[in-house]
Chains A and B, each alone.
Chain A
Amino acid sequence: GEDVEQSLFLSVREGDSSVINCTYTDSSSTYLYWYKQEPGAGLQLLTYIFSNMDMKQDQRLTVLLNKKDKHLSLRIADTQTGDSAIYFCAESASYISSGSARQLTFGSGTQLTVLP
């Protein structure tokens, strides 16, 4: 089945850039997502990229997609202590049975720690 892999931990200094990497196996992925989870809370969508795009930028966030290598990355510029959280990569290929639901496959999450 589909698989999404991420490294488990990343530490950066406040003010530096963070780069969180993700690899996926499903070549038919149409949307790729980055979610953020703060302790004890649900997941919040940060951004997503459609598979025909190479890059998407949204304020401090830059998403890069290498479809050939099935590699997705999230760069956070000027990382702040408030960015400390778990970041999940997820991919979705299609709707389930042509219905309204999408089957997303999530990675295990990367715990980002921002050091002062």
Chain B
Amino acid sequence: DAGITQSPRHKVTETGTPVTLRCHQTENHRYMYWYRQDPGHGLRLIHYSYGVKDTDKGEVSDGYSVSRSKTEDFLLTLESATSSQTSVYFCATRDSRNYGYTFGSGTRLTVV
């Protein structure tokens, strides 16, 4: 979707290094989400935000942290990447005025 940009689109990193993924939106949506997708698991929620500086954990938050210092950006950080965090990461947003969620195109992260 043109309103959501995830960066980088692809990244290969080494075990133990910090990694930050960025989700940028131009829709002024209040809610933002980070999901990961792995074979056999579907999409699992990592963290979400319901406003600037307001974040909460999802079902698979261990090893991840997030920050939202302004409405348009939601950052996902892997403090010390592990091979189990190799995955495709999707960002999503939602406007408080309607019920539709919009997903980004994803970031494919490989930890070697």
Same complex for A and B? Answer no
